[in-house]
Amino acid sequence: MRTHTLQLVVAALALILNQLFGVIGICYLRLVDNDPLPNAETVVAIEGDSITLGDGRAIKLEREADYELRTRIQKSANRIGIETTGAGDSTLFVREPRFICGLGMPMITLPVIPINSPRYHRKMLAFGTIDRERNANQD
């Protein structure tokens, strides 16, 4: 009986030490789908330095819409988040996947305890000014 108890204590200490030194881990990262843009608007068209939204608004960007900006909007499912100040200046955001570096993770992982982590985060896209307000017939 004493040898089994001693074996269990040694095994528990070995697991704890392995967890502390990062050789063997029992926690694993589970990516969970999320929406970091809860009040997002759909982008209908991008022309020059102007973005037209599905609700009829137009946003004039501070710079010309280049390939990178168009690609980031497309990867965000043509949805952008907008934060507007009282003066009409706006900050535009897109949804992008989070980068997770594996350097801090253990070499061997026994998937016992899941740790939920959001798959996407909100990333700033550009600055702009609302050029036209919503159409009255679409409200």
Give the separation between CA 46 and CA 73, rounded to whole angstroms.
10
Give the separation between CA 105 and CA 111, rounded to whole angstroms.
12
Count of other CB atoms within 10 angstroms of residue 57: 19
pLDDT of residue 134: 55
Q: Looking at the domain assignment, is residue 52 inside a domain?
A: yes
The DSSP secondary-structure symbol of 130 reads: E
Q: Looking at the domain assignment, is residue 7 inside a domain?
A: no
Residue 94 buriedness (CB in 10 A; 0-12 / 13-18 / 19+)? buried
pLDDT over threshold 50, residue 30: yes
Of the pLDDT bands very low, low, confident and very high (cuts 50, 70, 90), residue 135 is low
Per the CB < 8 A criterion, the answer to whether 117 and 100 are in contact is yes
Q: Looking at the domain assignment, is residue 73 inside a domain?
A: yes
Q: Looking at the domain assignment, is residue 6 inside a domain?
A: no
Q: Looking at the domain assignment, is residue 1 inside a domain?
A: no
pLDDT of residue 139: 46
**Number of structural domains the chain divides into:** 1
pLDDT of residue 131: 79
Amino acid at position 54, single letter: G
Q: What residues make up the domain containing 131?
A: 28-104+115-138
